[in-house]
Amino acid sequence: MNLRLFGGDGFFAQSSFVVFGYREYRYFWIAAAFSNIGMWALVYGRLWLMHSLTDSPLLVGLTNTATLAPVLILSVWGGALADRVNRLKLLQFTRFLFAGLAFLTGLLIVMDVIAPWHVIAISVVTGVLLSFDIPSRSAMMPSLLPREHLAGGIAMYSFVFGGAAVIGPAFFGSLVALWGIEGIFFIIGAAYILTVVFLLVMNPAHHVQTPKTSNIAQGVLEGLKYVLGYRA
């Protein structure tokens, strides 16, 4: 695997941030920063939106459940698919659709036609996409870094994920007051478009993987057998 590292004798080679010397990882990390902040803002945005549309605690809770349930149910299938397709292209596809869903939500608000069922439906679609997106991004790391830097790469990715969970909600209320809830969704859509741009400039040659010959259902069964048969 031809992974490129710049500044071999400089700062990046001598610091704990050496993983950012790898071009593909660097772009992947930047894309992750935009997408993770966008996703947390999207989650809070929909809860905020549903609360503004209805006073029903049930519907507010259902909004969150509508996103999480597909992830819990379909992630095993998403993982099997990630083993059989180009993960980078799958991530480009899911992030593009995330952008579309955010823009659609903002447009429905601007047109003053947004209804609770719209929010629930869009949340379900988001959950379905996440069930394929999460396994794909998790499996990307070995394609971006050599083995000796994997731990550092995972740590830096965890940092941006945790940081986004803090930054997104912390500034959400202020941003809503500044741009309105519809503006937030348009900004989220733009953030996801930036994510797609960074993923598009990554070199596909670094992500070529040997296709699995078994079908997805067989892959799911093999995974379940491994989990059920594993003994710590």
Domains present along the chain, CATH in parentheses = 19-202+213-229 (1.20.1250.20)
Q: What residues have CB less than 8 Å from 231, skipping those under 6 apart?
A: none
Half-sphere exposure of 24 (CA within 13 A, CB side): 18
Quote the tokens at residue 71. 């992830």
Confidence of residue 96 (pLDDT cuts 50, 70, 90): very high
Specify the pLDDT at position 217. 59
- pTM for the model stands at 0.81
Confidence of residue 207 (pLDDT cuts 50, 70, 90): very low
Q: Is the dihedral of CA 35, 40, 43, 48 positive or negative?
A: negative
The mean pLDDT of 112-136, rounded to a whole number, is 94
Quote the tokens at residue 95. 């992030």
Report for 4-18, 88-102, 126-140, 144-158: range of highest mean pLDDT: 88-102
The mean pLDDT of 113-136, rounded to a whole number, is 94
Confidence of residue 221 (pLDDT cuts 50, 70, 90): low
Residues 49-93 have pLDDT tens digits of 999 999 899 999 999 999 999 999 988 888 778 777 888 899 999
Confidence of residue 229 (pLDDT cuts 50, 70, 90): low
